[in-house]
Amino acid sequence: MADIEKKARLSGEQNRAAEPTTTLPTVNVATEKTTAPTAALHPALYVVTWIGFSGGVILFNKWLLDTLGFSKSKMLLRRKA
């Protein structure tokens, strides 16, 4: 056999098998399209709230440590043996 005969396409010369009896479902154009759910609050509001609460916690901790008489400088300067 020559190389050309080995590489020849035979699929075009064969008849196709019978068409399948089942078909894939099609899209029903008449149905209403649903929209994506929208966010309840704008994301920037979450960021501002986060920053506000974070600052509040920092100020609360500062107030709490000051009222209890906790001195950070003494704690930092103390050396452990």
For 22-81, how does the pLDDT look when each residue is reduced to its tens digit (9 = 90+)? 777 777 777 777 787 777 888 899 999 999 999 999 999 888 888 887 766 666 666 665
Structure tokens at 61: 């901790």
In this prediction, residue 69 carries a pLDDT of 79
The predicted pLDDT at position 76 comes to: 61
Integer Cα distance of 81 and 79 in angstroms? 6
Q: What is the pTM of this model?
A: 0.43
On the question of pLDDT at 10 being above 70, the answer is no
What one-character DSSP code corresponds to residue 30? T
What SS3 class is residue 14? Answer: coil
In whole angstroms, give the CA distance from residue 66 to residue 54.
18
pLDDT of residue 54: 98
